Amino acid sequence: MSAARRVMVDAAEVDFTAVRAQGAGGQNVNKVSSAAHLRFDIHASSLPADVKARLLAQRDQRISDDGVVVIKAQESRSLPMNRAAALARLQDMVDDAATPPLPRRATKPTYGSKQRRLEGKAVRAQVKASRGRVRDG
C-alpha cells in the first residue's frame, strides 16, 4: 500500500479571467469584475499520466469534453480571494485524482448472514402462502 502522494498544480498552467459576479452585492456587482474564472487544460498540463487519466475519467460537470477544467469562484468581493478559492478547488480535484482507488477484494458471505437471509425468505414465503383462498375443511 503506497501513501497518498501530493501532486501540486503549477500556477503557470492555470488561466484566470476576471468576470462580473452574479447575485447580491449592490452597485459593486455592476461595476467591478471580482469573480474569477479558472481554466485548466488537463492534456497540456505537467501532471503525471495516471493523474491525468483519473481526472479525465471523472464524471464532473466542471470538466469539458475537451479536457478543460472550468471553475468559477465568486464567493468573495475581492478578486485575489476568489482566485485563491478557485485554485484551492482545482487542487482538491487533483488531490482526489492523485490517490488511486483501492482494488476490490472479493469476500464470501458469513455463515450467519446466509442463515439470516434464508430465515427471512422463509418468513416471506409463509406470509405469501397465507394470502391464498380460505377453504372450509
Q: Positive or negative CA dihedral for 107, 108, 112, 116?
A: positive
Q: Does some domain include residue 134? A: no
How many angstroms from the chain centroid is the CA of residue 25? 30
Q: Show the domain range for 45.
A: 11-98
Cell 479536457 belongs to residue: 67
Q: Does some domain include residue 120? A: no
pLDDT at 25: 66
The structural domain count of the chain equals 1
Q: Does some domain include residue 3? A: no
Assess whether pLDDT exceeds 70 at residue 107: yes
Strand locations in the chain, DSSP E? Answer: 14-19, 35-41, 68-73
Q: Does some domain include residue 4? A: no
Angle, nearest 10°, between helix axes 79-98 and 49-57? Answer: 100
Q: Does some domain include residue 6? A: no
- As a dihedral over the C-alpha atoms of residue 16, residue 20, residue 24, residue 26, rounded to 10 degrees, the angle is 130
CATH number at residue 68: 3.30.160.20
Assess whether pLDDT exceeds 90 at residue 90: yes
pTM: 0.70
Query: For 82-86, what is the mean pLDDT?
Result: 95
Q: What percent of the chain has pLDDT over 70?
A: 93
CA dist., res. 42 & res. 56, Å (int): 8
Q: Does some domain include residue 83? A: yes
Instruction: For strands 35-41 and 68-73, give the pairing.
Output: antiparallel
Q: Does some domain include residue 127? A: no
Assess whether pLDDT exceeds 60 at residue 1: no
Q: Does some domain include residue 39? A: yes
Assess whether pLDDT exceeds 70 at residue 35: yes
CA dist., res. 15 & res. 102, Å (int): 33
